[in-house]
Structure 1
């Protein structure tokens, strides 16, 4: 199995970063950016820039009939995932590998339900500090994609194929044979850092220093550990320390996606973060007061510009 064609859907911060990287390291015509025609026209008119460089992407519409892609990477926001799944149908063949760089803990399940789980690899993007404002993406740290199989303890042919491709295009990566644990760990970090920085309307620097914001972030993360325990996921204080170390590698001036949404007055992924924690907490009769407060505060912020 060899990856010769890649399709990416979703030109947010991660989508632009990976599309730009692949297009420079791989043949442009074999890196397909899926978007509807109106979006393509807008992209071509305004341009998309990555660290000041104009991106030269190969756009295709969902309706376009083309040979299947060997790898499809989802980089949309969660609320756009169902539409993205419908949009990639013409890119799917029997051996197409699926990866999702979305936040949260359920995107792989949704993709697997649509296309079958045999070729779905679990994935988290970590350690990047990409910030997108309008058509401009900037980042200092590209981070890495951590991926592996749905079943723990194995390394499949599909995982090896993606590894070989990432080596070819020189994309930082890590293979993890316990991806469910890794995904919950990244979820824990996102619940803490995304929501806290959004509520404090600041940047990573606010939670990298000692103070109220950092305490809030860590308290929200500890509530995820409580929920994960009830779900049979062995998150611990060691995992919290690991993800705080990952956070410490980011540029203090950078911002997570939810803070960028608040700045742009867009609806955020609050339901994916504290909304999910609250649902699990209700299921297991657990108190999660910090996440409840963050949910209420972010919902209040959004209510000011969504009428």
Structure 2
């Protein structure tokens, strides 16, 4: 693996599987990384466990030392921030380090869905806010133990049209398989369409991804019609056939997987519904676009979550 050179310190905010994956891979490549944890209890547990991550890929296990800190504990300036929180925590997480963010700092948003990225762009106008679409599979069987289950690709772009920052070009693509994309919004809209097509049914019927077309039945082609109309209205250059084929491919490739929304429900965690179906419905309404099936699915999801005693947003 090539060693990353010429980089500033990377600050990774978010101690879940994706944040630890980025922190571990960057640290392995020789990059100077700081992990920002949510509270004093988490930091104490981190230090008590040896200030390290157990990183696992295939049959290889390695223990990677990482410095950790709290958002307000260090006065260390932040030039490069990797934000790997849940979408609903993104704004509060960014505000927790706002005083440390340098002018012209880069903020890389790794959130699922859409909406949290745009909110960051509106708030942090002096920084370069980069959007990303991530397909890596990572999970945590225990705290501070991350398993890289499937190597994917991270597509990154600046919706304002700015060029790829130099620090990103220094990251060896064997470390993080990244690609700069000049139309990142189109990438995110297509991924959002996939999530809107799969996640609601897996959550409502408690099924794996591969069962979605059967569970959805005759509704499914109609839902894809609505999603394609929404993508067209947003300027995404994809045909109805291409979108349908792409969704089918994702379902086939991840047939035995459990969607993130279903996993959240099983763990009795708040879901990211507001940044998936909620965001799609909101944008459709603002555009004057009728999406009755998508609206119905979003409403059914909210009712289902409330019935389970989980936040319906």
* TM-score w.r.t. length of structure 1: 0.82
Match of 1:32 in 2: 34
Task: Say whether the 8 Å CA contact 2:186–2:235 is kept in structure 1.
Answer: no
> 1:95-134 alignment to 2 at 5 Å?
95-116=104-125, 119-126=128-135, 128-132=136-140
Alignment correspondent of 2:8: 4
**1:13 lines up with 2:17 in the alignment:** yes
Q: How does 1:31-50 map to 2 (within 5 A)?
A: 31-35=33-37, 36-44=39-47, 50=55
List gaps (5 residues or longer) in structure 2: none
**Shift, 1:150, TM fit:** 1.9
Which one has a larger percent helix, Structure 1 or Structure 2?
1
- In structure 1, the residue matched to 2:169 is 163
Return the TM-score normalized by structure 2: 0.81
Assess if the C-alpha contact under 8 Å between 1:3 and 1:71 holds in 2.
no
Contact 1:99 1:108 in 2 (8 A): no
Corresponding residue SS for 2:112: coil
Q: What do you get for the CA RMSD once the two structures are aligned?
A: 3.0
Separation in 2, partners of 1:220, 1:53: 44
Q: CA deviation at 1:256?
A: 2.6
Aligned match of 1:82: 91
Match of 2:209 among 204, 207, 215: 204
CA distance in 1, matches of 2:134, 2:183: 15
Q: Shift in Å at residue 90 of structure 1?
A: 4.6
Structure 1, unaligned stretches of length 5 or more?
A: none
* Aligned counterparts, 1:1-307, within 5 A: 2-27=6-31, 30-35=32-37, 36-44=39-47, 50-51=55-56, 56-116=65-125, 119-126=128-135, 128-132=136-140, 135=143, 137-152=146-161, 156-158=163-165, 160-167=166-173, 170-207=175-212, 211-213=214-216, 219-237=222-240, 238-242=242-246, 244-246=248-250, 248-250=252-254, 252-306=255-309
Q: CA deviation at 1:45?
A: 5.7
Deviation at 1:163, TM superposition (A): 2.7
Change (3 A) 1:56 1:283: same
SS of alignment partner, residue 93 of structure 1: strand
CA distance in 2, matches of 1:231, 1:111: 20
Q: d(CA) in 2 for partners of 1:190 and 1:300? A: 19
The structure carrying a bigger strand percent of its residues is 2
Compared CA separation, residues 142 and 212, structure 1 to 2 (3 A): same
Determine if contact 2:157/2:164 at 8 Å carries over to the other structure: no
